[in-house]
A and B are shown apart, each in its own frame.
Chain A
Amino acid sequence: MNDIVRRDPRSEWIARNRLHPEHDAVLARMGGGAPAAQWMGPNGVIRRDPHAVGFIGPNGIRRIDRSGAQSAGAGGAARREAAAAPARRRVDIDTPAFFIAVVADMPGGRLSAHDRDLLGLARQLADAETDGAVLLVSFGDPRETGLGEAGVDRVLNFAGEQFEGYAPELRLTALGGVERQHAPRHWLFPDSPLGGAELGRRFAARLGERPATQVWQIADGRCTGRGAAGASDITRELPRIVLALPECAEPVADTVHAAEAIAPPAALPQALRRVEDLGAVAVDPAGVALAEAEFILSAGNGIHDWDGFHQAARVLGATEGASRVAVDNGFMPRHRQVGATGTWVTARVYLSAGISGAVQHLQGIQQCDKVVAINTDAGCDMVKRADLAVIADTGEVLAALVELVEGGRKEQRNAA
């Protein structure tokens, strides 16, 4: 819908003229069906009808909503929404006084939530003095389009196949080049396993700088990070290299930045390649350890079609779990048992199929974020625990799920 206000002088004139035969009809049209509570009088004075204000509430009492949400027409609401999302302020830094470098993980070429938090933190550090600029250092093919919105002033991308995959030594020399060329005031790395955590520590060791790790707060030139495996907080002067945890700061929301690309250092010294990436190893989701798995499809006594269950797990890409009963009955191996007496799982989504939910089982899935239950018994404990429960035949729902997912994939393939 466009935001241009279209005026109809004739209906406005009718609205002003209470004696006009079409007066009520026009008022009603303008007021979205309800009689209008206010209008411009014939001599430009706003007229109000106090009886038309508000609406009759459920218990028969007139309620007046002064926020205007109630009486606003559709067009008005759209206008207000446009006003509610304020345009981001554009900030351009032409000659940076100093750089705060962020080495983002950028999985798949896009900023992760962790990266965005880190850029928010970098923004804070850069904006503490005038003309500080955030320099994003990234590797591989960039696919992210919203770098400016994320708070990036300058982008330094090392493209090329040699930087893809696991190439810590090469990336290290690249960072060394940036260090020599731009000498950032601070280096920020996401403290994420196999991403910034490793590269940041390598880089700190290379530079001989003592980094602050597991940092979750920076204030007044001091930073606080977790120590002793999360059991203590260490507060110290902010060092040059910081490895920060997710949610260390709010991502940038109010400003948009230039995200201007600058050329990487031309000549990098030859890196000594002692680690060679031989590529990903195909891992069967069924082989993933239960405790590690992110998405578990778990079977209980309500499963009768085991082939269908295994197929569903394969199609969904879920790791298989089982209740004690399914294991005892020999349908699933013991190491697939979920629960207090089996494995305590930490999956983000736990899809239980035909599990009634013994206490021990529910204990074992305490740490799961979302629990989905498929069961025929609406009264069982698993349904009570579940965030989403479908009361239907387990086998049929799984079959339908398989069909949907496979159908969706086919469509995608056809579209592509």
Chain B
Amino acid sequence: MLDVVLPILIFAALALALAGALRRIGLWRQGRAAPVQLLAGLAAMPRRYLVDLHHVVARDKVFANTHVATGGGFVLAALLLIAVHGFGLESRVLAWALLAATAVMFVGALRVAARRKDPPARLSRGPWMRLPKSLFAFSVSVFLVTLPAAGVLPAGFGGWALAAVLALVVAWGLGEMFFGMTWGGPMKHAFAGALHLAFHRRPERFGGGRSTGLKPLDLNDASAPLGVGKPVDFTWNQLLGFDACVQCGRCEAMCPAFAAGQPLNPKKLIQDMVVGLAGGTDAAYAGSPYPGMPVGEHGGDVHSPIVLREGRALVDADTLWSCTTCRACVEECPMMIEHVDAIVDMRRHLTMEHGNTPNKGGEVLENLAATDNPGGFDPASRMNWAADLDLPLISARGSAEVLLWLGDGAFDMRNQRTLRALVKVLRAAKVDFAVLGNDELDSGDVARRLGDEATFQSLAARNIATLAQYRFEHIVTCDPHSFHVLKNEYPALGGHYDVSHHSTYISQLMAAGRLALGQWSGGKVTYHDPCYLGRYNGEYEAPRNALKGIGIKVVEMERSGFRSRCCGGGGGAPITDIPGKQRIPDMRMAEINATGADIVAVGCPQCTAMLEGVVGERAEVLDIAELVAAQLAAAPAQRVKEEVTA
């Protein structure tokens, strides 16, 4: 009897799955067109899956093995199931292989079940809780129905009653694994995830590459939407990406805004986008909500606004403005979903269509348009801090080896100390450098993160035009935000430069022996990785090397390197200032204090400002440039003699 029932079940499930797949593809295709290489993407997909995705999953070794066993076992079992039972291929070898595959899958399912026994808060519940049972149903039932084919049991063993029961269990397994894959069950992640990897909007990220710059809007195209106001305004592969979410909650565990109790949870946000894609409400969502916001009150569909000016729709504006764009979620996501892109896309709509950037946002954007800096300072006073330093202007010289990009920290009294230290270091190393002076404008970072693409592009275009007038080999800056924008976001607008962060440049100077430095004799030092230097640009080593160069042994924090926690200063978060239960810099300072460090070394004006804003007992905040410059003073006397002779 099973000989007859099984092929019917298998092909029925496959047919339904195919129908579901077509429907799902139809949903994704509601999105806007995107430049994607379909065939090349599909061809690259297995490698992306097995290498890049596994690389992220493997940060949790136990679960990586579980996933290999379960997922690998299932894929193999499914293919063999179709061959052995669907087409009735009579091959002992295949049958034994199928038995082995289901056995492996069973072992994996055991681990999945164990994890689901007392799941951590970041995991979604709901249908996900039944997944281990479904995995058992599939693996056990397929194992059993394959035993006769493998010759272990005689055909017709157990009679029709057992066969009927088995057929039912197979049906359950097939239902979850095949039908559910394309109709929206937990297994959807396998189908959508595979295609998402194939048609990813940042294919550069695979194979060890890095792609973090935001994609520009074409402002000359009057018909293109300014950002994303409705789910259909996303590109189709973004929608596909949302569907790939496996709700593992690793993003949630890393998100600084979530931890601070601000109304953002990256996982929920992606699930809300899925709700928007398919239509309905978020009532079925079974994970952690946005802090302070009950589940079930939001909903929408693909053609409705995501955020309403007043009242509730799919997402509240505060959720989008809570993000610090620290990219911790993107870095952690095993499905390589691009949360930050989506958030900035929606912010673009809020700023450029609604004109609704919260709190000081509007003022900052107005300042940027009128004075080219977010503080509204007189652009002619950008160099006032360096009146006594006699900095060489590149406009007077035409060329220099290093162009020192000052950033808007030039207007900030605290950052001016860092800049002075950096100038001191560069002079000590006899670096041929120059500055743009008052010709420098804000890089556009804040404008872009706040969604004001028009102001960003205007600033960028004018900066690129200024830079085009001069010859220089590198740009060095002590602001990772400017660094990221100049390095990763100006190329799309026609500006290609060799940009280094000052820590990188200083560590190069040290390696070349151009700095005579004393040895650190102060207290314990820890290092805080700026998001825009670390996760955005992969520079984790150079700052540590620079500190090592002056004899500092860095005491690492629990969250450091690619898992460093944001200071709360990115993405315009201090400007939009969405209230939470606590402040992100306070949490970060608690982590710093937990190391027992006396000093926290930083490499970013934003981080300095945020961490120094923490009241109470705290470690001293010093920029790497300041630490290095302080050791210059302790350098041997011959350096002074050289300066005199020179």
A367–B613 Cα distance when bound, in Å, is 23
Q: What is the distance, in angstroms, from A301's C-beta to the closest C-beta of chain B? A: 6
CB–CB B583/A328 < 8 A: yes
Question: How does the 8 Å CB contact mask read for A352-373 relative to B, with 1 for contact and 0 for none?
Answer: 0000001100010000000000
Q: Is A340 within 8 A of B615, CB to CB? A: no
CA distance A324 to B574 in the complex (A): 12
In the complex, the answer to whether A341 meets B360 with C-beta atoms within 8 Å is yes
CB within 8 Å of B: which of A181-196? none
> How far apart are the CA atoms of A334 and B574 in the complex, in Å?
12
**Cβ of B413 < 8 Å from any Cβ of A?**
yes
Closest residue to A340 on the B side, CB-wise?
B375
Binary per-residue interface labels of chain B (411-453) against chain A in the complex, 1 for a CB within 8 Å, 0 otherwise: 0111000000000000000000000000000000000000000
Interface residues of A in 286-303 (CB under 8 A from B): 301
How many A-B pairs fall under 8 Å by CB?
A: 15
- Asked if B577 is an interface residue, CB under 8 A from chain A, the answer is yes
Chain A, Cβ-Cβ closest to B583: A328
Q: Which residues of A contact B579 (CB under 8 A)?
A: 334
B359 at the interface (CB under 8 A from A): yes
Contact B613 A324 (CB under 8 A): yes
Residues in B neighbouring A268, C-beta threshold 8 A: none
Q: Which residues of B contact A328 (CB under 8 A)?
A: 583
A290 to chain B, nearest CB (A): 14
Q: In the assembled complex, which residues on chain B have CB atoms less than 8 Å from the CB atom of A358?
A: 613
- Please state if B615 and A325 are interface contacts (CB–CB under 8 Å): yes
| Cβ contact of B615, chosen from A301, A341, A359, A363, cutoff 8 A | A301
Task: Determine the residue in chain B with the shortest Cβ distance to A359.
Answer: B413
Residues of chain A within 8 A (CB-CB) of B615 are 301, 325
Q: Closest B residue to A300 by CB, please name it.
A: B615
B414 touches A341 (CB 8 A): no
Instruction: State the main secondary structure of chain B at its contact with A.
Output: loop
The 8 A CB mask of B579-593 against A (1 = contact, 0 = none) is 100010000000000
**Alpha-carbon gap, A341 to B359, bound state (A):** 10
What is the CA–CA distance of A112 and B414 in the complex, to the nearest angstrom?
Answer: 44
Q: CA–CA, A416 to B561, complex, Å?
A: 73
Least CB separation from B376: chain A residue: A344
Contact of A334 among B375, B413, B577, B613 (CB under 8 A): B577
Chain A residue nearest to B585 (CB atoms) is A328
Contacts of B613 in A (CB 8 A): 324, 358
- CB distance A341 to B574 under 8 Å? yes
Shortest C-beta distance, B363 to chain A (Å), equals 10
In the bound complex, residues from chain B placing their C-beta under 8 Å from that of A341 are 360, 574
Residues of A within 8 A of B414 (CB): 359
Inside 8 A of B375's CB, which chain A residues have their CB? Answer: 340
Contacts of A324 in B (CB 8 A): 613
Q: Mark A216-229, 1 if CB is under 8 A from B, else 0.
A: 00000000000000
Decide: A334 and B583 in contact? CB cutoff 8 A: no
Docked pose: A363 CA to B574 CA in angstroms: 17
Contacts of B413 in A (CB 8 A): 359, 363
The residues of B with any CB-CB pair to A shorter than 8 Å are 359-360, 375, 412-414, 574, 577, 579, 583, 613, 615
Using A358-B613, A359-B412, A359-B414 as known contacts, list a sample of 12 further A-B pairs with CB atoms less than 8 Å apart, ordered by residue number in A. A301-B615, A324-B613, A325-B615, A328-B583, A334-B359, A334-B577, A334-B579, A340-B375, A341-B360, A341-B574, A359-B413, A363-B413
**A residues with CB within 8 A of B:** 301, 324-325, 328, 334, 340-341, 358-359, 363
A-B contact pairs, 15 of them (CB 8 A): A301-B615, A324-B613, A325-B615, A328-B583, A334-B359, A334-B577, A334-B579, A340-B375, A341-B360, A341-B574, A358-B613, A359-B412, A359-B413, A359-B414, A363-B413
